[in-house]
Amino acid sequence: MSDTSFSRLVHVDRDAGVFRVARRSFLDDAVFEAERSQIFDRCWLYVGHSSELAKKGAFVTRPVGGRNLIFNRDGAGSVRAFLNSCPHRGSTVCRDRAGLAKNFTCSYHGWVFGADGKMRDIPGKEAYVEGFGSDGCADLVAVPRLEQYRDFWFVCFDAGTVPLVEYLAGVAGMVIDAFRWPAEVTGIAPEIWAAGVACAILIALWRALGGLFD
């Protein structure tokens, strides 16, 4: 969908005090796909909080920006994010919503992946050529960008995007700081305050939307 088409979806007349959004903005599949490709595939998206991965091996699975992800801490303590899609035939690898796991085993054909995403085992691997997977083709696919601000972790599906800190600079970063401070002072679980991150994401989205409609 072209920028020209987008401009027809919003009618702004400041002098008359008019701001109207066409109803089809919320119903049209083309608008939805354009939002995904022009916003959600490019911007930083909140995936989770460090407190959700307190222990080595901790994981959660959740959809982010239209993709199902595994957000986890591996055995060495590193936080990671992978597409929850098997590199073999695309089946969902982990079907649990949260837990502890040293490995993830795909239920379709039994490929086994470590918490670091590396392929660990393939049933019947003698049928494959020697060295199969040594180039990483059989590993879980890591999200192109994973970065943190404070204890808040974000992913981006565009490898070439600006660093998270630069992206959040200004209002969005201040909002996160504002929600982090009361967690430390009150002792209330950070993940509760993490709901405030939605505000930061909304601000970021509105900024992106502003670019579309300018």
- Which residues are at the interface with ligand FES (CB under 6 A)? 86, 88-89, 91, 106, 108-111
**C-beta of 92: minimal distance to ligand FES in Å?**
9
Which lies closer to ligand FES via its Cβ, residue 91 or residue 161?
Answer: 91
* Beta carbon nearer to ligand FES, 91 or 148: 91
- Tell me how far, at minimum, the Cβ of 67 lies from ligand FES, in Å: 17
- 124/160 with CB nearer ligand FES: 124
Min dist. Cβ of residue 86 to ligand FES (A): 3
Closer Cβ to ligand FES, 138 or 183, answer by number? 138
Closest contact distance (angstroms) between CB of 129 and ligand FES is 17
User: How many residues make up the chain in this entry?
Assistant: 214
| Contact of 82 with 43, CB cutoff 8 Å | no
